[in-house]
Amino acid sequence: MDVSSRRTPGASALADAPGEYVSIGALEDAHVHAADRDKEELLRYGIASVRDMGSTGLATDLQSDCWPTRRSLQVQRGGRVFDAPYSTLRTAWPWHDDDDLKRIIYSLPNSWSHIKIYSSFPSTQIPWLCQQAVGRGLTITIHPGADALLTAIPALDEVAHITSVLGYIEPLPHAIPQLIQRWSAGFTKIEIDDIINRARLAQLCPTLSVFHAWLEAKSFDGVPQNVRSTLRSSRKVVEAAWENMIMMANLLFHAGVTFRIGSDTPNRGVAPGYSLWKEVDLISQAIERPRITVLEMAASGTGETIRVRRAVLDRFLCTGVPPAPEDIQTGKE
């Protein structure tokens, strides 16, 4: 039962006392690369569902209900990504021709919710792949490569990462340092209008956490090699890129683009569970909306609730410091 309901009138002095909990909706991390080792930590942070945005499929039995908390993590499955033919990515489907693609699409279990098209998938084949996926009732998320968003994409549901919206106006640079350079240069009014008009056609999962973790990194250990050199030589460029991403997120949200809240865990610099709360904080700052509003945007569709220590939730809502697992009660009573 909800402990807070035991409060008596006039007991407001107890509001911050230990043991006082507030119920809120359980959360969804809309962008994870599912790995079995992360699921307990996700649950401990009050996350009830995740969307798998590229994994080796190790996680296909994540729904097993065997955790000490007696909760299960609902996984909206996407599994491997569609990347270049002969891709060496561990998390990409091996495929060589259209027949392979068709075989893959039609062998996906009915329980899958979406496919993800990754950066080196040939843009000329995207419309065809989308058509196949829609025929199977799957939604489509894209992490676009060069030209992908410039190509007319039917049935596109979601774009992954704020950096990707650049692809609405020009080919995305493949290498991260070039992408950072481009973002740091900023956009003209016409370019911004163009991005907004096209971005309205799909939802966006900005995943600000990873880039922000690079900026905050005390050492460069948590930063990919090619980003490290950019940070070392031109930190100002990285900071300018970040400012422009925040500005773009703000413009897109207020232009009516639907946001999904996802952390991109377990990328370097982000941690399962913790980083979803960080993402809520970052999005809240970017779109200049209260953290509680973004928490609601991140609610899972499972109907479950979690209980967060009142003082800790208040602290998060005021300062953005995420709760620790011991401040969150989850699980069936």
Residues that bind Zn ion (CB under 5 A): 53, 264
Residues 17/23/28/248 CA torsion (nearest 10 deg): -70
Nearer to Zn ion, 209 or 329 (CB): 209
Q: How far is the CB of 53 from Zn ion (least distance, A)?
A: 5
Q: What does each C-alpha distance from 87 to 80, 82, 119, 161, 322 come to in angstroms?
A: 12, 9, 11, 21, 38
Nearer to Zn ion, 88 or 188 (CB): 88
Query: For Zn ion, which residue has the nearest CB?
Result: 264
State which residue, 226 or 233, has the beta carbon closest to Zn ion.
Answer: 226
CB nearer Zn ion, residue 77 or residue 307: 77
Q: How far is the CB of 309 from Zn ion (least distance, A)?
A: 31
Shortest distance, position 63 Cβ to Zn ion, whole Å = 21
| CB 27 to Zn ion: min, Å | 18
Burial of 319 (0-12, 13-18, 19+ CB in 10 A): exposed
Could you tell me the smallest distance in angstroms from the CB atom of residue 143 to Zn ion? 7
Comparison of 41 and 191: residue with beta carbon closer to Zn ion: 41
Q: Which is nearer to Zn ion, 157 or 264 (CB)?
A: 264
Q: How far is the CB of 90 from Zn ion (least distance, A)?
A: 13
